[in-house]
Amino acid sequence: MFFEKDMRVTLSGITLDNPVIPASGTFGYGREFSELYDLDILGSISFKGTTVEPRDGNPLPRIAETRSGMLNSVGLQNPGLEKVIAEEIPELAKRFHKPLIANISGFAAWEYAELAQAMDKIPQVGIIEVNISCPNVHGGGMAFGSDPELAAHITKSVKRVTNKPVYIKLTPNVTDITEIAKSCEDAGADGISLINTVLAMRIDLKTRRPVLANVTGGLSGPAVFPIAVRMVYQVYDAVNIPIIGMGGISTAEDVIEMMLAGATAVQVGAANLADPFACKKIIEELPDVMDKYGIVSLSDITGAAH
């Protein structure tokens, strides 16, 4: 029997038309994608990670293909806070008319606080996503997300300066993901985003040297999907705040699986780089997949595998 499908989900009081969100760093500021399809079909957009100062990123080569995925060591290349606020967000707001997710990254607690305070003033920003999990920068990034006390410290620093929901983006490169997630929740986090990329590397057989100039990079794509599902499942049992699940999602079936594990919404990353229509296709396929598995409302299935 056919029922009208309800794809809406709610993150910290913000209702999304569907749970599909392009992941930070894989969608830029939406400009190129807006030439291909109407961005308003998306649930939200997590735009490219912002740092206080402009960053050129890591030296080339910083992308490498691998079986069932890719390695990246881009290193948070972005035009910096001032330009993002003055130029990129206003331009994106012309193309996307729903609340945005502002992904921020820093190298000290004060930088995260400065970024969050600035994003708090932007009407288009609905959620602040705090990246304490980038494996490709030194002196910050993943280091903050690997230590429960440091993760809590960054969370508190951000929460002090904003009234907007704060989601902490966690690294999978830890022994116990639940310990980090719980420390963020205890420090006031409104939600958790996971996972970021898995630390990995490739070696060129001809040169006998690492393929990436940074030696190591972050593995993303279908190869990491089972890891992401496992970690979302574990964190769902450990915390009482919403989870945005990501890591290798490339089909509508993947979305359902990640939500069953415990995600309220999902982010699609590497798939956008392989197919710029990936998010559009997933959204269009969701009603048929829901019908196939007898799902009337997506909001009902979060954590149903438990």
Dihedral angle at the C-alpha atoms of 43, 47, 52, 56, nearest 10 degrees? 170
Q: Where are the beta strands (DSSP E) in the chain?
A: 9-11, 14-16, 20-22, 46-50, 63-66, 69-72, 100-104, 125-131, 166-169, 191-194, 198-200, 203-204, 209-210, 217-220, 243-246, 265-268
- Single-letter residue type at 171: T
- CB contact at 8 A, 39 and 30: yes
Find the DSSP H helices in 17-159.
31-34, 81-83, 89-95, 109-120, 142-145, 148-159
134 is catalytic: yes
Q: Which of 134, 195, 235, 270 is catalytic?
A: 134
Active site residues: 134
